[in-house]
């Protein structure tokens, strides 16, 4: 008697876009299986995003509202990191979470999200939303130095550390705050990972 492989529950997707204002945006999410191609197409519409308030909070608020407006029941998690060039208060923004939840600023706490996901985000980043417990997320973050940003050679290492901590589905977002840092977005599910930098 043979047993068929269980179909994946979720899929990951990531896109890299240049907005009409010339800002580099890395974004994506976790969606129900079978919808990732449609979501990649939908997220490409973020090229029309216009940042009106050029402050760190203004950028984050604009990103969060845009992702929330895109969401439906097939989009489980969404996130984005934006490089807005040289602005007086900084050059980046980064958000992540469930598009079905209320928008709120990061405060360094871990919150439960629907469908068994948890979210931890610090002001200025990083942020991680993953299927797992607060303890698994904290263990990953404590064992990983993300404050200095992510370099080109590190995404596979980060992904391996996520899996070692039992975090197999989720999003990791860094807004690029810090000297020589770049925004970074990673989506991972079903043994696969996609990532983009905002440089």
Report the DSSP beta bridge partners of residue 27: 15, 80
| The pair of three-digit structure tokens given for residue 29, joined into one six-digit string | 């999410």
User: Which has the closest alpha carbon to 191: 157, 165, 160?
Assistant: 160
pLDDT at 148: 61
pLDDT at 86: 66
Q: What is the pLDDT of residues 168-184, one digit of tens each?
A: 999 999 887 665 667 88
pLDDT at 109: 84
Burial class (CB in 10 A: 0-12, 13-18, 19+), 114: exposed
136, 161 contact by CB (below 8 A) = no
In a domain, 127, yes or no: yes
- Distance between CA atoms of 98 and 43, rounded to whole angstroms? 15
Element (H, E) at 10: strand 10-18
In a domain, 3, yes or no: no
In a domain, 72, yes or no: yes
- The owner of tokens 């995003």 is 49
- Distance between CA atoms of 84 and 6, rounded to whole angstroms? 42
Which stretches in the chain have pLDDT values below 50?
1-4
Predicted TM-score (pTM) of this structure: 0.90
- Distance between CA atoms of 67 and 166, rounded to whole angstroms? 27
- Distance between CA atoms of 34 and 50, rounded to whole angstroms? 30
In a domain, 4, yes or no: no
Residue ranges making up the domain that contains 101? 10-197
- Structurally, the chain folds into a number of domains equal to 1
In a domain, 2, yes or no: no
pLDDT at 180: 61
In a domain, 157, yes or no: yes
- The owner of tokens 């919808």 is 35
In a domain, 76, yes or no: yes
In a domain, 149, yes or no: yes
pLDDT at 54: 79
pLDDT at 2: 39
């Amino acid at each position: 008697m043979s047993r068929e492989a269980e179909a994946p529950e979720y899929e990951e997707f990531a896109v890299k876009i240049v907005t009409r204002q010339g800002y580099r945006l890395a974004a994506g999410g976790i969606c129900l299986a079978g919808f990732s191609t449609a979501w990649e197409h939908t997220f490409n519409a973020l090229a029309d995003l216009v940042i009106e308030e050029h402050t760190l909070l203004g950028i984050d608020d604009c990103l969060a509202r845009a992702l929330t407006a895109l969401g439906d029941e097939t989009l489980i998690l969404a996130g984005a990191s934006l490089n807005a060039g040289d602005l007086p208060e900084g050059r980046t923004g980064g958000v992540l979470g469930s598009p079905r939840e209320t928008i709120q600023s990061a405060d360094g706490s871990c919150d439960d999200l629907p469908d068994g996901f948890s979210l931890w985000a610090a002001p200025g980043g990083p942020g991680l939303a993953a299927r797992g417990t607060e303890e698994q997320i904290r263990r990953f973050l404590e064992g990983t130095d993300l404050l200095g940003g992510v370099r080109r050679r590190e995404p596979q290492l980060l992904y391996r550390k996520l899996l070692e901590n039992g975090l197999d589905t989720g999003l990791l977002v860094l807004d690029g705050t810090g000297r020589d840092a770049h925004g970074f977005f990673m989506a991972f599910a079903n043994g696969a990972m996609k990532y983009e930098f905002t440089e």
